[in-house]
Structure 1
Amino acid sequence: MPLNITIIGAGSRFSFGITADLIRDEHFTGSTLALVDPDERALDTSTRIVNRMVAESGADLNVISSRYRDEVLPNTDYVLNSIAVGEPFARERDVAIGEEHGIYQPTSQTVGPAGYCRGLRVIPHAVEIAKDVAETCPNATIIDLANPLAAVCRSMIRESGLPVVGLCEQWAVTKRFFAKALDVDEQELELNSVGTNHLTWAIGLEHNGKEILEETIEDLHRPERKDLLGEVPVSARIYKAFGVWPTGTEEHIAEFFNYFLTPETNGGADLGMRIRHTSEEQWDARWEERESWASDAPIDHLLGPSGENAVEIIAALEGYRDPLDEMVNIPNNGLIDNLPHEAIIELPGRVVKGGVEGISIGPLPMAVREILSRRVTQQEIQIDAALSGDRDLALRGLLFDDQITSLEVAEQILDASLKANEKYLPRFL
């Protein structure tokens, strides 16, 4: 049966990967893909690219687009949220404000002052989307791809009551590293990890059904493996300190702690990290590239598998395929004994027809639990602040960030960020 799938924030790169995956799966024949983005230029460009992809593939996929989600949401089965607010230049300003206070943020998608401010911008819009979905297509499932993912998922669930599943593939970076260490194909490995998005912790690694996590980590610490271990200095040091191996990119992991991104490490550069910047020239070049894809440049590279799993998950939820074992971000609901039930956790799940079932984990080690508990508390305060426009609440949430060095610094960063982002944070005016 054809489905109605809506992407909100269709100007993002996710639109092309999702389109490619829909094209490749015959179960979605005759389905309708609705693209929504308030940015007229972004929407027009993405729509032309997606239409080219469909035409060149010969797929039976209907494509519609609108700047206004209320025009396409009725009868939608799945809503994919990939919004960003004020990007990339709001992020550039936030990162610069942090650097003025000796705080360096390579990704600024989740934590750190810039990641926190990103949440203040995104959460109100995400909640409005969820409420509109609840009103116009209450049987729809929301799949969130927008950052900060855990806070966005929690805000949408809390304020709308709808089911939301968050998806992110950053944990797979560690799987690839372990595959390299073992000299095996990564498809032979099954890595299980648990935590909050962008800071998960390995709880199991299987090779051909055999559990090998502990022996793999022990092998990495042999003297002759020094160079390989040196490729992941943040992960290695976190493991030494807390006894559990973190999963994800070095940049994401480092942002959750105040040990690595310091003036003494040249903002993390001495550890192999770099802060991502987007200049106006780079932004213009990106648009030129997309305009070429929308016109007559080859787009074969867009038609391959995306590496994302949103379409696979929709197929499993619809019963088009066998149950799918996948990392998902869902409410805890007792899966981890010693974290709040309402916390959004990233963990192994099974996607079956009609829903997502998380795997029971039990209690986490005390140190890991405490690290994650701080993030859960911060996310709840961040949501309250974003929705209320309460500066004191926003400050309180920022003070939970481990990169903040003092109350005075927190106040200075917050006030500068609110001023720099006033266009995108009207509730704080």
Structure 2
Amino acid sequence: MNFTNPMSLTVLTGIRASKLPIVGLCHSIQHTSHTLATYLEIPYESLDWKAAGINHLAWFVKLEREGQDLYPLLREKARDPEIYDQDPVRFEFVKHLGAFCTEGSGHDSEYVPYFRKRPDLVQKYDRSGYIGESGFYANNWPTWLENSARDLRDYLAGKREYEMERGEEFASYIIEAMETGVPVVIYGNVPNTGLINNLPQDGVVEVACLVDNKGVQPTHFGSLPTQLAALDAQHMAFHDLVATSVLEEDREAAVHALMMDPLTAAVCSLEEISQMFDEMVAAQSDYLPDFLKQ
């Protein structure tokens, strides 16, 4: 079970390099399903939904209550500025592409070429904090790290009691289902063995999986709407190139991967991307393998 980002890349490289059964686990889908119930102002238990795609770019292709499509209601809710401003990028996806994405607006804005390529677009679509603020992680990481280290010291010294409460992360549910045989459905990142018809079959996709004493069993989804599959497929090409670079020690594949990144390509020319790659390798050479260095 892998919780580590970059999720799709880690899982893809792992399954190509080993024969281990690997499933990548994220909390985006289950968290977003609760977020949608909040936006729609309906009880979560009444929400009937289905999602599929790739990690951080999967899509709620079904959003219903008692057989009624809830997307018209979601579009109506999004006209309220107080709701729209909580998720501007994802509501733009709904407006123009027809589906709500599984990752938050700030992160999503980094995955596509539409929202961060010009200063005016950053100002229009990004908000403070996790909703797209530039430098948010870099500026806050030192404080977060120190707070986590302090908490750990307090736990180890017995100054604070560690409260254990089961959350929405899937690992414990997988273990329970495999040990007891009582089935549970989770969403996992797994090899695309015909699960999503119109995405590359040698990549990793995020779909519903049945778990019981037979293990994690991915379920067939079908085909995504073409416009959504196109966004996902471009990232899967990026994933393929990065995995190839790592496993075959291929520098050129790494450069090509950066050229395929949608946001990078929206901002920079091929020559600029190549130069940027060289600059990034030089700046971080102490942490990188020799094959990436010129």
Alignment equivalent of 2:70, drawn from 198, 205, 213: 213
Question: For the structure 1 residues 279 and 361, does the alpha-carbon distance in structure 2 shift closer, same or farther, using more than 3 Å as the test?
Answer: closer
1:361-380 to 2 correspondence within 5 Å? Answer: 361-380=221-240
The one-character-per-residue Cα deviations of 1:3-39 (angstroms, maximum 9, x if unpaired) are xxxxxxxxxxxxxxxxxxxxxxxxxxxxxxxxxxxxx
Structure 1 match to 2:241: 381
> Deviations for 1:194-233, whole angstroms, at most 9, x for unmatched residues?
11101111111244x5353334334335x5x343233221
Q: 2:102 aligns with which of 244, 247, 261?
A: 247
2:211 maps to 1:343: no
Shift of 1:279: 5.1
Matched residue, 1:152: 10
Aligned residue type for 1:364: L
**Which of 400, 411, 415 is the aligned partner of 2:260?**
400
Kindly indicate whether the alpha-carbon contact (under 8 Å) linking 1:171 and 1:249 is maintained by their aligned counterparts in 2: no
DSSP-derived class of the 2:285 partner: coil
Asked if the contact 2:107/2:132 (under 8 Å) is kept, the reply is no
Structure 2: which 5+ runs fail to align?
none
* Partner of residue 112, structure 2: 257
User: 1:311 maps to what in 2?
Assistant: 172
Residue type of the alignment partner of 1:294: L
DSSP-derived class of the 2:277 partner: helix
Q: Hey, what does 2:82 align to over in structure 1?
A: 227
User: In structure 2, which of residues 115, 125, 132 is the aligned counterpart of residue 273 of structure 1?
Assistant: 132
**2-structure distance, mates of 1:279, 1:366:** 38
**TM-score normalised by L of structure 2:** 0.86
Report the Cα distance in structure 1 between the residues aligned to 2:188 and 2:216, rounded to whole angstroms: 8
Q: What's the TM-score once normalised by structure 1's chain length?
A: 0.61
Contact 1:332 1:344 in 2 (8 A): yes
8 A Cα contact 1:329 1:344, kept in partner? yes
Report how far residue 176 of structure 1 moved. Answer: 2.2
1:260 partner SS: coil
- Partner AA of 1:411 in structure 2: S
Q: How does 1:17-416 map to 2 (within 5 A)?
A: 143-207=1-65, 209-220=66-77, 223=79, 225-261=80-116, 262-264=118-120, 265-266=122-123, 269-270=126-127, 272-274=131-133, 275-277=136-138, 278=140, 280=142, 282-301=144-163, 303-318=164-179, 320-404=180-264, 405-416=268-279
Q: What RMSD over aligned residues (CA atoms) do the two structures have, in Å?
A: 2.3
Matched residues in 2 for 1:145 and 1:327: separation? 13
Which one has a larger percent helix, Structure 1 or Structure 2?
2
Letter in 1 for 2:74: I
The aligned amino acid for 2:132 is M
TM-superposed CA distance for 1:189, in Å, is 2.6
Partners of 1:192 and 1:347 within 8 A in 2: no
Contact 1:199–1:252 (Cα < 8 Å) also in 2: no
Alpha-carbon deviation of 1:311?
1.4
| Matched residues, number | 282
- AA aligned to 1:276 is Y
User: Over residues 304-329 of structure 1, what are the superposed CA-to-partner deviations in whole Å (9 max), with x where a residue is unaligned?
Assistant: 224311011122123x1521111111
Moved more, 194-203 or 413-422: 413-422
Query: Aligned-pair distance for 1:266?
Result: 4.5
- Between the aligned partners of 2:223 and 2:183, the Cα distance in structure 1 is 26
Inter-CA distance 279–309: structure 2 relative to 1 (3 Å threshold): closer
Single out whichever of 197-206 and 350-359 deviates more from structure 2: 350-359
1:29 match? none
Going from structure 1 to structure 2, the CA distance change for 1:281 and 1:317 (only over 3 Å counts) comes to closer
**8 Å Cα contact 1:166-1:329 kept in structure 2:** yes
Q: For the structure 1 residues 285 and 362, does the alpha-carbon distance in structure 2 shift closer, same or farther, using more than 3 Å as the test? A: closer
How far residue 370 of structure 1 moved from its aligned partner, in angstroms, is 1.3
Distance 1:249 1:362 in 2: 25
Residue identity opposite 1:213 in structure 2? L
Which residue is equivalent to 1:419?
Answer: 282
> In structure 1, what is the Cα distance between the partners aligned to 2:83 and 2:92?
14
Matched residue of 1:367: which SS? helix
By how many angstroms is 1:400 displaced? 0.6
Q: Secondary structure at the match of 1:166?
A: coil
Aligned partners of 1:338 and 1:391: how far apart in 2?
29
Please identify the structure whose Cα radius of gyration is greater.
Answer: 1
Q: How far, CA to CA, are the matches of 1:311 and 1:338 in structure 2?
A: 32
Letter in 1 for 2:200: P
